[in-house]
Structure 1
Amino acid sequence: MRLNLISKLAIATSLVLLSTMALYAYLNFRSLQGLLLQEAISEADRISETILRATHNQMLRDDRPLFYKTIEEMGSQQGVERIRLINKTGRIIFSTDGAETGTLLQKDAKVCSVCHGGAHLLLTASSKHRSRRFFRAGGGELLGITNAIYNEESCYTASCHFHPESFKVLGILDVVVPLDRMYSVLDAYRNRSIALTLLVLTLTALCITLLTQKLVNRPVRELLEHTQMLSRGELDGLVHSFANDEMGELAESFNAMTLNLKRAREDLEGWGRDLEEMVQQRTYEVTQMQAQLIRSEKLASLGELVAGIAHEINNPLTGILVFSSLIQSNQKLDETLKNDIETVIRETKRCAGIVKGLLEFARCSTPQKELHCLNEISEAALTLIQHQILFQDITIIREYDEGLPLLLIDANQIEQVLVNMFVNAGHAMLGEGVLHIATGADPDQRQAYIAIHDNGCGIPQENLTKIFDPFFSTKANKGTGLGLSVSYGIVQEHGGHIDVVSEVGVGTSFTVTLPLPEQAATSPAHTSRQASLEESSSPPCA
């Protein structure tokens, strides 16, 4: 369903206002909750102080029945859940809940943690630190506050008491009050805030609708009608002037555009009289373009011809190689000619390799991209080369990222890149060493990578800038120098790049970086796995 301009503005403004008011209400609600909780703590503390002051003389006279009766009367009033008197050993000597009287509390109990919670005994604490919040068994939150009964001078000098002067605290008075009233106030405040927010949103949306209808929607509708007239070719009408604001400037611009279109149409009518001359000029330009197209087709045909010639070279090379092999296997061949025949075979194979490399380098085929697992492609490439003689004494260490997402790549081309790099690493290690392969992803850069490190001879610094150049090779008489060039072109076609770090005598590291697809997960679970050369299980991908 299509929303008009008024609805969009009303909805957008309402959402902004709703977010602002919701944030304000939340902060205000938290502040009010803190104030009410502090007030509840103060109220409970006042009750505790009142009890201590009211029973002071009773405690001096050791009038326990009257003292306990006073506590029971204070505990029966509204807003008090429970009052307990605990001696310094942790035993409840009296409680308005008779089932608790005589119970011994441990030092790790919540009521005891105020004084015994730290490394040293705490004799004094603020009302906030003497309070605790917990829930009753039947539901409902309670607030408890403890107040120490100190051994004052009037206590240890009284004739009826036996507490020595060295005792600092004689016991604890624990007052527990319910927080139902606080939550009732918070619920009422929340309901009022919601109602007020809805009222403000309704009034704001109504005002925005009325103002937008008058100031924006009506002028826009008139401009739309004028635009429709222009599309029908009616260039005589003008837009009525609006207020002196942006809408008025837009109306004036429409009127100016209408006049310009009218003049342009008159110019076109004048150009029609010179149509024949313009057609002749256009015909000449088309002829020139056709000639250019013909030249382009000739160049394309020449490129195909060159490719065909390269393919045709393979035919005589194949014949030379076959017959040379037959001659070499002939028992009647003179021993003095065997070295020459071997040279012919070797050089023919080298020519065939050069032609093949030229074809691969010049083909520039478009990658057939599909979602593939980079770990599986690496395993497929290793399967092709790890059983060769070159890799018999090379230890292969795999460290694959099991959470690596699937990549949109051409699996065959990427496998060709990895085979080239694995073989180059094998040659650099002279068939003995450690080949370390690791994969991973960088969600922030939207990239996945595979790093290939060998501990071979390394590449001199002056050659690092040349290794991707066609026909450049550091292997004497062992390659065409096109492997890394082809690999670099393939990776570039995939939107990635290749980085290389090398040190002579230490080893070489190649890092192939490929872009992650848009739908790939941004935070996969990164774990690593190491496997030896004999492992053949396919690594998982996300």
Structure 2
Amino acid sequence: MRPRSLPLRLADLAQALPRLLRTIRCSLITKLAIVSGVALMFFFFLWSSLNINAMKTLTTEATMSDMNRLGNTINLGLHYAMLTYAPETIREIIKSIGTQQGILSIRVYNKKGQIKYSNQLSEIDEITDIKEEACYVCHRTAPPQVHLALRERTRFFTDESGHPCIGILRPIENEPSCVNDACHVHPADKKILGLLDITVSQAANEATLASYTERNFLAALAVAGGTFLVLFLFTHLLVNRPVRTMIRATRAIAAGHTFRGVDLRQADEMGELGRAIDAMGREVLSKQAELVRQKNRYQDLFEHVPCTITVQDKNLRLISYNQAFADEFHVHPGQYCYKAYKGREEPCTNCPVIRTFDDGLPHANEEITLDRDGCKRTFFVSTSPMTDESGKVTSVMEISLDISESKFLEEELERSRMKYQAIFSCIPTALFVLSLDDLTILECNSRPQTLYGYEPGELLGTPFLALFDEPDIAPFEAAIRAERPIDRVRHRRKNGQHFFAAIRVSTAAFPGSQVYLASVTDITNRLETEQQLIQASKMATLGEMSTSVAHELNQPMTVIQTISDLLVRKVRKGQCVDQATLTEMAEGIGRHIARATGIINHMREFGRKADRHVAAVDLGAVFHRTFELFSQQLKLRNITVAFDIPEGLPPVAAQANPLEQVFMNLLLNARDAVDECYGPNSRPGDKRIAIAAGLETTGERQFVTASIADNGSGIAPEVLGRIFEPFFTTKEVGKGTGLGLSISYGIIKDYGGDIVAAAGPEGGARFTIRLPVWQEPGVTRD
């Protein structure tokens, strides 16, 4: 059995050896253990060697010192015997000392090298070769050396049994007692008389040193082994186990498994590393969870995006696709894309996937195909390359978006755009698209060509305000930006002629921004017609006022006639008129002639056509001038007129002549209303007309308000909404044209004001006029 098991054990050992070497190569703790163990053994054995060598040196030096003292002792013991020449005594001394343990020989040489005394009797009288080691120490120079150090006098050799020995030579020096004594014949010039040679065996010391060496090496081995075990244990606890823990944690992180943290309760670098790995693991775990969420989200997006996505290889085979593509085309992986999309047997012409494989760039185009029902469908197709680590395109992602409905809507939108473009171009008013920033003309229809004389392309990019022919265009710009209607403004044509226009502005959506849409209408003909109506109305009013005007003129003429008759009578009688009376008469004639002239000029000015230029007008002054034409007539009819017009009212933006016509129409209507209500038998104070004015502020604008109220029968509620309509009147046939209030409404609106009718405070009617305060050009009124 044993011969068979031995090869098996060797085979097992041969198989286990590579695993052991791999374990050593791949295990940090094993490497640290081996390196630290070898280092400890080396240093401990080095320490032991040095210690043993030091021990040897100390032992040798101690032996040499002892032998030197022994030599001195023997020399002192032989000194007296030699002086008394007692050979037997010398032999006994040497013999007695030579019997001590460890002493091999004690010899006394004379100067000729002859052994005179020795503890070994067989050596007495032998002559030693002077070149032997014992003698050669001194005789290697001529003359021989007298004084040598202990180290030079010591020799080391091995005896026949192989034990180490030490020999020490001590010179026997010549002394005065040896020279002067009668028994001696040594001359005084002899320094050395002989040598004392002592040899000692080192066998006992060698045994002791061997035992010490053995114990020392055993102790070193035990200390090294213990230290190695302690280091191994601490390395395992403080390094290997934490490293294993961190390795398991990092492998769990790498494998995507649950990370349970690294709990190293150490305050050293390994603990810092463990806490760093723990923080890193938790951060990686968080990032990994985020990546998983992102992956799931993108996978969900990939599967549920409202378009088809495929990944194709270089042969146009389907590698993968999303759920929308699978539901739409019912394909399987590996099928050709052109077969799946269009049922073709060959690739499409100008295929974007092939182009992406060729140049590595994204491509996009629109493709039209027929679905299973034969309906035309339009797809927007885009491709993107997918590369490997070397940058080579290995596959292409193709995204197809069904834009059939969008294409249909786009075509419908284009048809709608063309339709509205035709309407925009053919609308009878001039339309301008203006920028919000500087009112630059961005677009216009064809109407400005006939209205202004410009080609449409000439107006694009020019300021819209450049078409205005007004001294101050700031109010009109403010009106445009506030989207307020401009009822009348003067514009200039390309040839320099001007015309009057009405402008309406509103904001509209334009591609990329908001714009103003301005509609310009030529109202020149309408204004001329209105002027004719106004003039006709003036003439009618003058005809209606003829009686009142005649009465107004009759009063100053009567005064003048009376003064004239008085002067004629005085002249016929030959009477002289005193200077004071004559002066008074002349001044009276002048005043009444001036009054008559003023009435005639007022009527002439009232009947004249007014221009269209707006200026600053004092509303109170217009009221008083208008009232002068009616003052006597109203007085004769017992109509009381009360004025409440404060001083210092700001002027309004209007024209005096048309305003006078408005006030005249309102006064005539108030007169007729109170006359109709109270009749000719009224008492004084029954018929009343109140004229008032004031100032009001709306937002940032100021207005002057004027009202004319009467205590007549008032306006019926059912006709209140129609009183400003042309040719509408509540008077009897032949007493009114129905144009007075309509013309008054148009005049006030032309000046940017308002006129409203309501019930009066005394039960009659009250008409209120509201006109904007005049602003000097370039001046903004707070």
More strand by share: 2
TM-score, length-normalised on structure 1?
Answer: 0.49
